[in-house]
Structures are given as structure tokens and as C-alpha cells.
């Protein structure tokens, strides 16, 4: 793990307003893929951020429900590699709208059927976000690995066939201008009547990190409503503690608590270059 970066103590802060969204970094950085731009450098090797124990995840869900959470997100790594993913989703769907972020390459018909059954039994929505990085196989597979585009498309069809309208999530890294329209056309071509696409900027973290970039100052935020930042109403539970941002989970400069959600409900330091990207673009990792 990297040392706590300089400047955290003097960084501007985002206030905590309310817990609208809880993120669980369910598999830590364990993933079956090694994407070239991965924001937390996930992969199939020994994860630098450990998977989340099921008991810890359930405790976080219980705490979040008591705090009035409205959305829960399961991420990683690849969350469908976690052996308790289905019972944890059942627990989550009993209390809030729930989303799983997946690369779409480990979905099976049996798993899709189980997800559809969970969704059908819940009063809350279950969303599945499938990551792609281009609307064409060659460009996508340069980033995600050979064959990943075809496997993800199979997952999109499988989910749609079971009434689970998928959301394609992409970054700006590969597809450039017009990406949104190309993804919508791709989804329509798969027979998905209500194509949904979310495109995120490239954040300077993980394998996308480059030379040190711009960091926010209080002067940069003068007149800016800091409560509009995602970290004002989001908390993230990972194996080593609680964070305000899913992109920065695992980085000690971002850690707010060693365990309990209630201890992490204070201001969050906007110390990282990725914070400047959120401020500049208005980006949010949530579905909205």
C-alpha cells in the first residue's frame, strides 16, 4: 500500500450531508480481467485490496439501512466472483435499490436466472451495469482482453431476456466522440428496446494514473457548492476500512474509518487528482 500522500491534512474538504449511497468493494481488487486503464489496478493475481468478508458486508448493510441509505452498489474487482454475492444481494434488495458493476464475462444462464428471481421478489430495483470500452470488438478487446466484447454482449442479451435491463458503462478512453450514440446503436442491434448507457471520464488513478496532476485548493472551490460532490452523500466499505469515494477505495489518504460506517460520516479530504476530475466534469459513479 502506498504511504499517506502529502497534503491530505491541508486539502479542502467535502462535507458529509447524508448517506444516500453505500458501495461495497466486494471482491477488493480480485478480477478475472486486467484492463489496461483499471481505476484500482484489479486483476487475477493476489489482490492488493482484499475481498470483503461476507459478515462485514452484512454489518455494513445493516448500518446503512439504519442511516436511511437509498442505493447500494456492489463493485470490485469483479463482484460476481464473490461466493456470497447472491445472499448479499438478497439482503441488499430487502432494503434499497441495488446495482452490481460487472465486466460481464462471468455471467451464466443460471446466475442470470437467480438474479431475475431476486429482482422479481423485491420491491426495489436490481440494476446490472456491464462495462465495455468500445462499441466495436477490436477496440474494446485492446483494453479488456481478447474475447471480452463477445462475452459481455452475450451477458447483455441474457440479462435483457430475463427482464433485467442492463446499463452499459464505458470510459472515454477508447471510443472518443460519438461513443454514446454508438453504444445505443449497439444495444438496439442486440434487440434491447430501452438502451441505457453511462460514460465516465478517465480518472488519474490505478493503471490510468500518469504524472502528478492538478489538485484542488480551497480557492478553486470558492463559490462552488461542495454538497453536489458524490462524496458528500456516499460511503464505501472495503476490507481495510470506510472511504468516501469508490475510485479511491484502498488508498490510505482517503480512508475515513477502520471499520464502522458511523465513524466515517465526517468531511472527506479532496486531496487526489481524481477529485479535480469530479469537480471539473461533475462526474458521479452512481447510476444517476
Torsion (CA) 39, 249, 50, 155 in degrees, nearest 10: -50
For residue 248, what is the DSSP state? T
Backbone angles phi, psi at 30, to 5 degrees: -80, 125
Q: Determine contact, residues 24/234, Cβ cutoff 8 Å.
A: no
Residue whose C-alpha cell is 423485491:
122
β pairing state of 268-269 and 13-14: antiparallel
Pick 213 or 131 by higher pLDDT. Answer: 131
Backbone angles phi, psi at 71, to 5 degrees: -140, 145
1 pLDDT more than 50? no
Residue 180, CB-side half-sphere exposure with 13 Å CA sphere = 6
pLDDT in tens, 183-234: 999 999 999 999 999 999 989 999 998 867 889 999 999 999 999 999 999 9
pLDDT in tens, 140-174: 999 999 999 999 999 999 999 999 999 999 988 75
Residues 6+ apart with CB under 8 A from 278: 229, 230, 231, 284
Name the grid cell of 160: 435483457
pTM of the model: 0.96
For residue 70, what is the DSSP state? -
What are the structural domains of the chain?
Answer: 13-281 (3.20.20.70)
SS3 label, residue 131: strand
5 pLDDT more than 80? no
Rounded Cα gap, residues 134 and 73, in angstroms: 23
181 pLDDT more than 50? yes
Name the grid cell of 169: 458503462
Cis peptide before 77 (omega within 30 of 0): yes
For residue 263, what is the DSSP state? G
Amino acid at each position: 500500500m502506498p504511504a499517506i500522500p502529502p497534503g491530505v491534512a491541508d486539502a479542502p474538504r467535502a462535507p458529509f450531508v447524508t448517506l444516500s449511497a453505500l458501495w461495497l468493494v466486494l471482491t477488493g481488487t480480485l478480477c478475472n480481467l486486467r484492463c489496461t486503464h483499471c481505476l484500482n489496478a484489479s486483476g487475477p493475481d493476489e489482490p492488493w485490496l482484499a475481498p470483503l468478508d461476507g459478515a462485514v458486508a452484512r454489518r455494513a448493510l445493516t448500518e446503512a439501512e439504519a442511516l436511511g441509505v437509498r442505493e447500494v452498489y456492489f463493485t470490485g474487482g469483479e463482484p460476481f466472483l464473490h461466493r456470497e454475492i447472491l445472499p448479499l444481494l438478497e439482503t441488499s434488495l430487502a432494503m434499497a435499490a441495488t446495482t452490481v458493476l460487472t465486466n460481464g464475462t462471468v455471467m451464466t444462464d443460471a446466475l442470470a436466472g437467480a438474479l431475475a428471481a431476486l429482482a422479481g421478489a423485491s420491491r426495489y430495483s436490481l440494476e446490472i451495469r456491464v462495462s465495455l470500452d468500445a462499441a466495436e470488438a477490436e477496440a474494446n478487446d485492446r483494453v479488456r482482453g481478447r474475447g471480452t466484447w463477445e462475452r459481455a454482449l452475450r451477458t447483455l442479451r441474457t440479462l435483457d431476456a430475463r427482464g433485467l435491463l442492463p446499463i452499459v458503462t464505458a470510459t472515454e478512453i477508447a471510443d472518443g466522440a460519438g461513443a454514446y450514440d454508438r453504444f445505443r446503436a449497439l444495444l438496439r442491434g442486440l434487440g434491447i428496446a430501452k438502451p441505457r448507457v453511462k460514460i465516465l471520464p478517465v480518472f488519474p488513478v490505478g493503471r490510468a494514473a500518469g504524472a502528478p496532476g492538478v489538485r484542488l485548493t480551497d480557492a478553486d472551490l470558492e463559490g462552488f457548492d461542495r454538497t453536489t460532490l458524490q462524496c458528500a452523500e456516499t460511503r464505501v466499505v472495503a476490507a481495510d476500512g470506510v472511504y468516501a469515494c469508490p475510485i479511491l477505495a484502498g488508498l490510505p489518504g482517503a480512508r475515513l474509518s477502520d471499520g464502522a460506517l458511523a465513524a466515517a460520516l465526517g468531511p472527506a479530504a479532496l486531496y487526489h487528482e481524481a477529485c479535480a476530475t469530479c469537480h471539473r466534469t461533475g462526474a458521479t459513479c452512481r447510476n444517476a
